[in-house]
C-alpha cells in the first residue's frame, strides 16, 4: 500500500510505517492551474507505474483534471472516489458529474446525513456506503487517569480541550484566545490542540497547555468537555467517543456544510454549538456536570459504529477482483 497525498500531514503517515509520497498541492505550489494539473498527472502516472498499482482510491472533493487524465491513461486500474457528503447546498455539481470517470464511489457516513441538502444526495444511490469513519475505535482510547498522565495533567481539575482547526482556511487566533480566556476565568484548565497541518502556531493565553499529538483522539477521555471545530474527523471522533462538546462551525469552508452538521447534532442532544463564537456566554451550560453527563449518554446512545473496517474490507475486496468484474 502506498499513500500519495497533498496533505501537510504526510510525515505522520510515514511515521505510522506506510510508504508515503508527497505531492505538492496547487495551494502551496508556485504553479498556476494549467501547469499544476499536468504536474499532478505526471506524478500519478509515475507512481502507478513504479508501484504497479491495481487500484487507486482518491479521497477528496475535487477530481482534478490531472487525475481524470491519469484515469484515462490507466484503464486497467480500478479507480475509487472516496467522497464524503454534507456539501453546502448548490455547491460542487461540476465535481459530482466527474464521478462517472470512476469505477466506484465510496461514501463514508455522516451523523447528520438526515439533513444533508448537498449535491451528493441525489447521487447517493451510485455510492457504496459505510458508517462514519474514525481513525480509532472506542476501545483504543486511554482511560481518563492514564490519558491525563500522558498529557502531563495532574489531578482531576475541570479540563477542556480546545481545538478549532488548523487555521489554514481562516484565522482562528482571536476566537481561540477569547474562548480560552473565558473558560480559564471560570477555573477550567485548558488544553489547546495544535493541528499537525497548521501553518502558524496558535497564540494562547498564559497558563494554557498546548499539545501536538496524533491521533489526539486516543487521549480524549482526559477531558471533561471540548470546544471544537466541526470538520468531519473531529466531529465524529468527539460524538462517537462520548465527549461533551460545544462545536464552533467554520462557515468559510468551500464545500463542507459544518453549520447544518452541528445544528442537527444539537437538535439530537448529542452536542451544543456556538452560532456566534464571539458570544462566550453560550459556553456556560457545558460547565455543568449534569449537562456533560447528559451529552455523553446521548452520544453513546446515538453514535453509529465506526465504518473504517467496512471501508477497508470493501476496497481490499475490489482490489482482489479481476478488472472485468469492476
How far lies 5's CA from each of 14, 117, 199, 307, in Å?
11, 29, 17, 22
Tens-place pLDDT, residues 226-271: 999 999 999 999 999 999 999 999 998 999 999 999 999 999 999 9
Tens-place pLDDT, residues 1-15: 899 999 888 999 999
Q: How many CB atoms lie within 10 A of CB 16?
A: 11
Q: Which strand ranges, in their side-by-side order, compose the sheet holding 245-247?
A: 209-211, 189-193, 159-163, 225-228, 245-247, 272-273
Model pTM? 0.92
CATH 3.40.720 for the 2-134+307-325 domain, yes or no: no
CA dist 75 and 57 (Å) reads: 14
Q: How many CB atoms lie within 10 A of CB 263?
A: 19
How far lies 76's CA from each of 27, 97, 167, 289, in Å?
31, 22, 40, 57
Domains 2-134+307-325 and 138-302 share a fold: yes
Q: What is the pLDDT of residue 29?
A: 86
Q: What is the pLDDT of residue 325?
A: 44
Decide: 57 and 82 in contact? Cβ < 8 Å: yes
Decide: 227 and 248 in contact? Cβ < 8 Å: yes
Domain boundaries, the chain: 2-134+307-325, 138-302
**β-pairing verdict for 2-5 and 272-273:** unpaired
Whether residue 192 is predicted with pLDDT greater than 70 in this model: the reply is yes
Domain 138-302 homologous superfamily, CATH:
Glycogen Phosphorylase B; (3.40.50.2000)
Tens-place pLDDT, residues 76-88: 999 999 999 999 9
Whether residue 200 is predicted with pLDDT greater than 70 in this model: the reply is no
CA dist 22 and 43 (Å) reads: 10
Decide: 128 and 192 in contact? Cβ < 8 Å: no
Amino acid at each position: 500500500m502506498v499513500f500519495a497525498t497533498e496533505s501537510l500531514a504526510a510525515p505522520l503517515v510515514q511515521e505510522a510505517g506506510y510508504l508515503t509520497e508527497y505531492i505538492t498541492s496547487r495551494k502551496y505550489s508556485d504553479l498556476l492551474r494549467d501547469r499544476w494539473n499536468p504536474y499532478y498527472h505526471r506524478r500519478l502516472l509515475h507512481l502507478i507505474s513504479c508501484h504497479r498499482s491495481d487500484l487507486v482510491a482518491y479521497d477528496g472533493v475535487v477530481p482534478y483534471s490531472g487525475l481524470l487524465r491519469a484515469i484515462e491513461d490507466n484503464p486497467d486500474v480500478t479507480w475509487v472516489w472516496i467522497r464524503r457528503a454534507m456539501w453546502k447546498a448548490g455547491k460542487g455539481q461540476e465535481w459530482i458529474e466527474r464521478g462517472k470517470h470512476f469505477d466506484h464511489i465510496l461514501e463514508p457516513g455522516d451523523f447528520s446525513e438526515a439533513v444533508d441538502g448537498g449535491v451528493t444526495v441525489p447521487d447517493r444511490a451510485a455510492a457504496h456506503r459505510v458508517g462514519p469513519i474514525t481513525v480509532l475505535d472506542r476501545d483504543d482510547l486511554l482511560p481518563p487517569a492514564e490519558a491525563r498522565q500522558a498529557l502531563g495533567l495532574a489531578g482531576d481539575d475541570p479540563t477542556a480541550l480546545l481545538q478549532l482547526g488548523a487555521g489554514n482556511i481562516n484565522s482562528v487566533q482571536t476566537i481561540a484566545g477569547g474562548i480560552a480566556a473565558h473558560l480559564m476565568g471560570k477555573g477550567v484548565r485548558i488544553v489547546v490542540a495544535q493541528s499537525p497541518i497548521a501553518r502558524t502556531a496558535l497564540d494562547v493565553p498564559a497558563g494554557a497547555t498546548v499539545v501536538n499529538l496524533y491521533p489526539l483522539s486516543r487521549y480524549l477521555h482526559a477531558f471533561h468537555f471540548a470546544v471544537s471545530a466541526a470538520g468531519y474527523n473531529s466531529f465524529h471522533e468527539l460524538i462517537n467517543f462520548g465527549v461533551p462538546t460545544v462545536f464552533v462551525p467554520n462557515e468559510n469552508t468551500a464545500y463542507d456544510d459544518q453549520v447544518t452538521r452541528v445544528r442537527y447534532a444539537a437538535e439530537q442532544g448529542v452536542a451544543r454549538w456556538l452560532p456566534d463564537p464571539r458570544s462566550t456566554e453560550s459556553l456556560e451550560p457545558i460547565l455543568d456536570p449534569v449537562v456533560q453527563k447528559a451529552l455523553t449518554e446521548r452520544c453513546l446512545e446515538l453514535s453509529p459504529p465506526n465504518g473504517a473496517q467496512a471501508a477497508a474490507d470493501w476496497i481490499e475486496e475490489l482490489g482482489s477482483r479481476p478488472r472485468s468484474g469492476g
